[in-house]
Amino acid sequence: MWLYEKKLQYPVRVSVCNPRLAKFLIEQYGGADGELSAALRYLNQRYTIPDKVIGLLTDIGTEEFAHLEMIATMVYKLTKDATPEEMKQAGLGDHYANHDGALFYHDAAGNNWTASYIQAKGDPIADLYEDIAAEEKARATYQWLINMSDDPFLNESLSFLREREIVHSQRFREAVELIKDSNTGKKIF
């Protein structure tokens, strides 16, 4: 099912070591509206969605894992040369004490990722509207990250991710209409 190319979906460059910015980016790594949550949500929902949109959930869920890889690369590059004192000053002292430089699934506030972030109702319309909301929240978060960043190289990658969230939202909106259209046929009880 998966073909892995040993390159990122979009190049990730950073100007300088910046653990403070990495702390904010971790939100998209292990936060409720981050890339891990999105990937798992969509790949899980595809089992109870009509056949005509299974491929969409598979495609977007898989792409979200590529986005997760990009965020991990950003965080790594922003922290790889940071000293323990710099990690502490950036608000990542607890992270450093528990994980050193390793990535860990938690949000920017340090809350561990949890499966309760994933929504699946089993109703295609409800699930797709949840997916639209998730994509719009991710888009907003990427914009806020760009607003806080002064790294033009990193902002290029963040802008790419923000634009992909917009595309995903649009695709989910199309899927809602497709399902609604298929449900408007004559029903006899």
Per-residue confidence band for 187, with pLDDT thresholds at 50, 70 and 90: low
Question: Bridge partners of 106?
Answer: 112
**Rounded mean pLDDT of 50-71?**
96
- Mean pLDDT over all residues of the chain? 94
Alpha carbon of 154 to those of 12, 24, 131: distances in Å? 7, 13, 26
pLDDT of residue 2: 67
Q: Is 156 among the annotated ligand-binding positions?
A: no
- Tell me, what's the pLDDT at 99? 93
Main-chain phi, psi angles of 120, to 5 degrees? -155, 115
Number of H helices, E strands in the chain: 8, 0
* pLDDT bracket for residue 186 (50, 70, 90): low
Tell me how far apart the alpha carbons of residues 77 and 50 are, in angstroms, rounded to a whole number.
41
Contact 124, 179 (CB under 8 A): yes
Average pLDDT of the residues in 30-56: 96
- Please answer whether residues 71 and 35 qualify as being in contact, where contact means their C-beta atoms are separated by less than 8 angstroms: yes
Residue 182's pLDDT band (boundaries 50, 70, 90)?
confident
CA distance 38 to 34: 6
CATH fold of 19-102+121-180 reads: Ferritin (1.20.1260)
Q: Is 135 annotated as a binding residue?
A: yes
Read off the pLDDT of residues 99-158 as tens digits, 9 standing for 90 and up.
999 999 999 999 999 999 998 999 999 999 999 999 999 999 999 999 999 999 999 999
pLDDT of 1: 62
pLDDT tens digits, 145-174? 999 999 999 999 999 999 999 999 999 999
Q: Is 59 annotated as a binding residue?
A: yes
pLDDT band per the 50, 70, 90 thresholds, residue 175 = very high
Distance, CA of 20 to CA of 85 (rounded, Å): 12
35 is in an annotated binding site: yes
- DSSP, collapsed to helix, strand or coil, labels residue 112 as strand
| pTM of this structure | 0.93
